[in-house]
């Protein structure tokens, strides 16, 4: 944590879209003009009072914000240490933090005058959140989803179809989220004149990592205010799961300049780091280039991207947002892991102690928070981002339990 | 004055003869590592002037389904960037004249290290690189390393590239400029000759480098139509498709010979 006191985190990314050595724009030339246009439009609108008012209005009246900061008393008791507060993103419309971003990008899409939106999705949460805002604005919507994920997440596939979106199964590569993103990029290159690409995480070419972060930063701004209201000080620690990292950066970013607040990003440990079957690029990967940005990646010795493993489809991604890569290198955020079993245990524990069914993604954050709380004092406070609800995961958990639902 | 390179020599010769360049693309290791060098020699024998050797990548974002499958097949044969260099070295044992360009994605180069990549490319007899997802903004360091070794850096220009950007990209570009004829992925089917003509004229205002046109060129007629206003045509998907469908290496060579021969004849008409 050498000289981070000197860094003003609100000044990043820099003008060329970099967070230290990470981020940037690694895309084919055809897309550069569209990215330039998006960047210029966002620069114009992000401080525009009318745009901000429209975004805030949608967050309040359509998403249902602010989301509560809830003291999980029985969970705290079970952990036996610091107080655990849950930031209830699971209570948002569509059931996860993803909608904060799609509402924001939908406003940008409307301003751009484009008539069609596309998205990539893994577990289907971002796809549902995109199909939702597209339905509301009367935009055509296509969602790319790995053919494997289409099979694993059939309820979300049907939700998207009900919302009027076309769900396109992607048969190339490993048939999961990364391939869905490749295919969405190919669609965008082909239909760039009339199509707005709503990226679902803080990855991709500049300015996506910035704008997805900004739209999700409402999580951290609220949590900061609510912490002061509820316990009269800033939290001692923040915990959030990290796949691409949009819910984590949304919680962390408004606190980055508060050097007293420790932050923990929890990657998917899968079957255990030692097995190689995980999705923890910040813990086990190396810097490289994928999907338009330089960041930490899971890859082999030849630079080919390798398949990841996690019980939670939303964390099953070989890369991570470039800002996280930078925050790791400079030591501002500590990136840890929770494996499948720990996440499932936390899923059950939160459900039984608090009556809250968390998404398997968010269960990784809960699992680490339980361990962390035990090492802290009872008067200390941890805020955990409960990024999504677990209804979508009951089939996965039931299958692990050997039960047919 | 920079040193000459095989790419420069080839375009100078074509210009002197009043002929258009035929640039052919195949994926290294597609159809088996042992078949790549024979295929490269066949491309030359059938009339290819430059070879773009595709370096397979797990996530080839700019490719249509045909070339994606070529990359997947090549990766089944464990075709790494290092193997690609070895293939070029082997090709050079018999062919000292035909320029070879490595066309691929940034990550395998990042993994090898840009300097090690430039050194290995030079040592293997590679003449230039085209890295699809290395935008002009990010290309600086690699560009310098390649330039120091007298290797050319080929850039893509597209229908969406604005004039001021063309002007700055051609400052970085060397060897030739690859004009992407359409908004889309490789192998797409909506080529518009009029748009190609207008855009080539637009690019020509900013550079004297040879202009080759690729994406969506399927046969002699389409190659001829796009190269009318430029210096050459790039053909890829039809060759990769043929290699993918061929029963063995000999069949692949026959198919490729017929396709390249037909396009060559059309260009020379």
Please write the tens of the pLDDT for every residue from A170-207. 998 888 899 999 999 999 999 999 999 999 999 999 99
Q: Work out the minimum CA distance from A367 to partner chain B, whole angstroms.
A: 33
Closest alpha carbon to A85 in A67, A99, A102: A67
Question: Tens digit of pLDDT for each residue in B13-72?
Answer: 999 999 999 999 999 999 999 999 999 999 999 999 999 999 999 999 999 999 999 999
Nearest-by-Cβ selection for B106 from A190, A192, A289: A289
Mean pLDDT estimate for chain B: 96
Which domains can be identified in chain A, with CATH numbers? 17-52+98-203 (3.40.50.1100), 62-95+209-401 (3.40.50.1100)
Q: Which residue of A has its CA nearest to B184?
A: A190
pLDDT exceeds cutoff 50 at B105: yes
DSSP state of A377: -
Domain B6-268 sits in which CATH superfamily?
Answer: Aldolase class I (3.20.20.70)
Grade residue B2 by pLDDT with cuts at 50, 70 and 90.
Answer: low
At which residue do the structure tokens 């990784």 appear? A364
Residue A186: the pLDDT is 94
For residues A383 and A227, is the Cβ–Cβ distance under 8 A? yes
Where b means 16+ CB within 10 Å and e means fewer, A372-397 reads: bbeebeeebbbbbbbbbbbebbebbb
Asked if the Cβ–Cβ distance from A289 to B137 is below 8 Å, we say no
Question: Tens digit of pLDDT for each residue in A8-57?
Answer: 999 999 999 999 999 999 999 999 999 999 999 999 999 999 999 999 99
d(CA A183, CA A35): 17
pLDDT exceeds cutoff 60 at B132: yes
Question: Tens digit of pLDDT for each residue in A355-386?
Answer: 999 999 999 999 999 999 999 999 999 999 99
* Sheet arrangement for strand A195-197: A166-170, A140-146, A116-121, A195-197
Q: Could you give the angle at the alpha carbon of A10 between the alpha carbons of A281 and A21, nearest 5°?
A: 40
DSSP per-residue string spanning B7-28: HHHHHHHHHHHT--EEEEEEET
Nearest-by-Cβ selection for B110 from A179, A186, A289: A289
Grade residue A252 by pLDDT with cuts at 50, 70 and 90.
Answer: very high
Chain B residues with CB under 8 Å of A28 CB are 61-62, 132-133, 156, 158, 180
**Which secondary structure element, helix H or strand E, spans residue A208, and what is its range?**
helix A208-216
DSSP state of A254: G
d(CA A92, CA A61): 11
3-state secondary structure of A263: strand
Share of chain B above pLDDT 70, in %: 99
Does a cis peptide bond (omega within 30 degrees of 0) precede residue A13? yes
DSSP state of A123: S
DSSP per-residue string spanning A85-110: EEEEGGGSGGGBTHHHHHHHHHHHHH
pLDDT exceeds cutoff 70 at B88: yes
Question: Tens digit of pLDDT for each residue in B160-210?
Answer: 999 999 999 999 999 999 999 988 888 888 888 899 999 999 999 999 999
DSSP per-residue string spanning B146-215: HHHTT-EE-EEE-TT--HHHHHHHHHH--S-EEEE-SSS-TT-S---HHHHHHHHHHHHTT--S-EEEES
Residues of A labelled as active-site residues: 98, 120, 387
- The first and second tokens of residue B75, run together, are 């990766």
Residue A153: the pLDDT is 85
pLDDT exceeds cutoff 50 at B1: no
Pairing label, strands B100-104, A195-197: unpaired
Q: Work out the minimum CA distance from A281 to partner chain B, whole angstroms.
A: 15
Question: Tens digit of pLDDT for each residue in A140-162?
Answer: 999 999 998 898 788 899 999 99
Nearest-by-Cβ selection for B135 from A32, A185, A301: A32
3-state secondary structure of A250: helix
Residue A5: the pLDDT is 57
Nearest-by-Cβ selection for B135 from A29, A190, A305: A29
- The first and second tokens of residue A222, run together, are 């609220």
Asked if the Cβ–Cβ distance from A26 to B133 is below 8 Å, we say yes
Residues of B labelled as active-site residues: 52, 63
Residue A1: the pLDDT is 44
What mean pLDDT is predicted for residues B218-241? 95
Where b means 16+ CB within 10 Å and e means fewer, A200-222 reads: bbbbbbbbbbbbbbbbbbbbbeb
Mean pLDDT estimate for chain A: 96
Asked if the Cβ–Cβ distance from B68 to A303 is below 8 Å, we say no
- Which residues from B are below 8 Å from A when comparing CB atoms? 57-65, 68, 72, 75, 80-82, 105-112, 132-138, 155-162, 165, 169, 180, 183-185, 188
What mean pLDDT is predicted for residues B219-224? 95
Residue A174: the pLDDT is 84
Residue B244: the pLDDT is 97
């Amino acid at each position: 944590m050498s000289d981070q006191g000197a860094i003003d985190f609100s000044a990043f990314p820099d003008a060329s879209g970099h967070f230290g050595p990470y981020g940037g724009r690694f895309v084919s030339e055809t897309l550069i003009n569209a990215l330039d246009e998006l960047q210029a439009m966002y620069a114009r609108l992000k401080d525009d009072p009318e745009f901000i008012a429209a975004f805030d209005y949608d967050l309040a009246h359509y998403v249902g914000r602010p989301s509560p900061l809830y003291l999980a008393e029985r969970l705290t008791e079970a952990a036996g240490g610091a107080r655990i507060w849950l930031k209830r993103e699971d209570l948002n419309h569509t059931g996860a933090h993803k909608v904060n971003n799609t509402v924001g990008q939908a406003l940008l899409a409307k301003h751009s005058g484009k008539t069609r939106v596309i998205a990539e999705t893994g577990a289907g949460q971002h796809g549902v959140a995109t199909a939702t805002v597209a339905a509301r604005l009367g935009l055509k919507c296509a969602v790319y989803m790995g053919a494997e994920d289409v099979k694993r997440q059939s309820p979300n596939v049907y939700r998207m179809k009900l919302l009027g979106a076309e769900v396109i199964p992607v048969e190339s590569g490993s048939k999961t989220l990364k391939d869905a993103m490749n295919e969405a990029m190919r669609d965008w290159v082909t239909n760039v004149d009339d199509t707005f690409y709503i990226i679902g995480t803080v990855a991709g070419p500049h300015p996506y990592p910035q704008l997805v972060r900004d739209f999700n930063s409402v999580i951290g701004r609220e949590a900061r205010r609510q912490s002061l209201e509820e316990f009269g000080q800033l939290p001692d620690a923040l915990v959030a799961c990290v796949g691409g990292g949009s819910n984590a950066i949304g919680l962390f970013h408004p606190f980055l300049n508060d050097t007293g607040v420790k932050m923990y990003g929890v990657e998917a440990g899968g079957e255990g780091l030692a097995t190689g079957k995980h999705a923890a690029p910040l813990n086990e990967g190396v810097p490289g280039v994928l999907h338009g940005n330089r960041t930490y990646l899971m890859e082999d010795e030849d630079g080919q991207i390798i398949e990841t493993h996690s019980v939670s489809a939303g964390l099953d991604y070989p890369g991570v947002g470039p800002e996280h890569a930078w925050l790791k290198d400079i030591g501002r955020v500590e990136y840890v892991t929770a494996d499948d079993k720990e996440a499932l245990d936390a899923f059950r524990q939160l459900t039984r102690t608090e009556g809250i069914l968390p998404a398997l993604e968010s269960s990784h954050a809960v699992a680490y928070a339980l361990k962390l709380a035990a090492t802290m004092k009872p008067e200390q406070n941890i805020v955990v981002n409960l990024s999504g609800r677990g209804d979508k995961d009951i089939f996965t958990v039931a299958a692990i339990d050997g039960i047919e639902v | 004055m920079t040193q000459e390179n095989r790419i420069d020599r080839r375009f100078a010769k074509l210009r002197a003869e009043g002929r258009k360049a035929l640039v052919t693309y195949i994926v290294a290791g597609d159809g088996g590592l042992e078949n790549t060098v024979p295929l490269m020699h066949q491309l030359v024998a059938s009339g290819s002037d430059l070879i773009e050797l595709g370096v397979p990548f797990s996530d080839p974002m700019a490719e249509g389904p045909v070339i994606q499958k070529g990359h997947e097949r090549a990766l089944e044969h464990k075709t790494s960037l290092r193997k690609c260099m070895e293939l070029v070295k082997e090709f050079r044992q018999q062919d000292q004249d035909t320029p070879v360009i490595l066309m691929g994605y940034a990550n395998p180069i990042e993994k090898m290290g840009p300097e090690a990549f430039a050194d290995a490319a030079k040592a293997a007899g590679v003449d230039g690189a085209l890295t699809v997802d290395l935008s002009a903004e990010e290309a600086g360091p690699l560009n310098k390393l390649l330039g120091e070794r007298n290797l050319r850096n080929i850039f893509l220009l597209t229908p969406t590239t604005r004039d001021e950007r063309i002007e700055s990209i051609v400052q970085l570009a060397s060897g030739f400029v690859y004009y992407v004829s359409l908004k889309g992925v490789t192998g797409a089917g909506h080529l518009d000759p009029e748009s190609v003509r207008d855009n080539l004229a637009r690019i020509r205002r900013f550079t004297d480098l040879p202009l080759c046109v690729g994406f969506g060129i399927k046969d002699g007629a389409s190659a001829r139509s796009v190269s009318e206003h430029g210096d050459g045509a790039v053909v890829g998907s039809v060759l990769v498709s043929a290699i993918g469908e061929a029963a063995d290496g000999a069949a692949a060579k026959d198919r490729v010979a017929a396709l390249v021969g037909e396009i060559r004849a059309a260009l020379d008409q």
